[in-house]
């Protein structure tokens, strides 16, 4: 399964079933590889298969936001179930990201 794809300078990242510290370390280093090899402005995290997130996952999103927003980049979060949305809202990270239903909605806002 392809977990990373770059379209229109937006890096799409398929999030794992459980996004904890173990997984964020792996995803962060994978993403850093893409930042070196591709011109990336935006990041879209696909949570459609994710059932768990803790503060490590929040740290990943906040860290990517810090990295991209200075250059006008946006962070998108797609396919969140209510329990994930609750954690995102509690952390305040919902103020930094754009919550979208699907890839199509993401494309519409980066055209």
Partner 1 sequence: MEFTNEMKLELKAISENESFARMVIAAFTASLNPTLEELGDVKTAVSEAVTNAIIHGYEGNRQGVIRMHGYIKGKILHIVIEDDGVGIPDIARAMTPLYTSKPELERSGMGFSFMEAFMDELTVESEAGAGTKVMMKKIIGLENKYE
Binding site for partner 1 (CB under 8 A): 18, 20-22, 24-25, 28, 52, 54-56, 58-60, 62-63, 83, 87, 90-91
Question: CB 2 → partner 1: shortest distance, Å?
Answer: 23
Exposed/middle/buried for 2, CB within 10 Å: 0-12, 13-18, 19+?
Answer: exposed
- Say if CB 43 and CB 76 are below 8 A apart: yes
Q: Which is nearer to partner 1, 44 or 91 (CB)?
A: 91
Question: CB 13 → partner 1: shortest distance, Å?
Answer: 14
How far is the CA of 68 from the CAs of 33, 79, 89, 105, in angstroms?
15, 21, 21, 20
Q: Which is nearer to partner 1, 93 or 106 (CB)?
A: 93
Question: CB 94 → partner 1: shortest distance, Å?
Answer: 13
Residue appearing with tokens 């993403």: 31
Cross-strand pairs, 12: 5, 44
Q: Which is nearer to partner 1, 25 or 101 (CB)?
A: 25
């Amino acid at each position: 399964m392809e977990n990373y794809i770059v379209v229109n300078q937006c890096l799409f990242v398929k999030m794992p079933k459980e996004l904890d510290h173990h997984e964020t370390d792996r995803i962060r280093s994978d993403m850093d590889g893409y930042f070196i090899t591709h011109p990336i402005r935006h990041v879209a995290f696909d949570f459609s298969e994710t059932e768990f997130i803790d503060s490590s996952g929040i740290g990943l999103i906040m860290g990517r936001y810090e990295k991209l927003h200075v250059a006008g980049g946006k962070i998108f979060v797609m396919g969140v179930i209510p329990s994930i949305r609750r954690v995102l809202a509690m952390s305040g990270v919902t103020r930094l990201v754009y919550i979208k239903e699907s890839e199509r909605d993401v494309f519409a806002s980066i055209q």
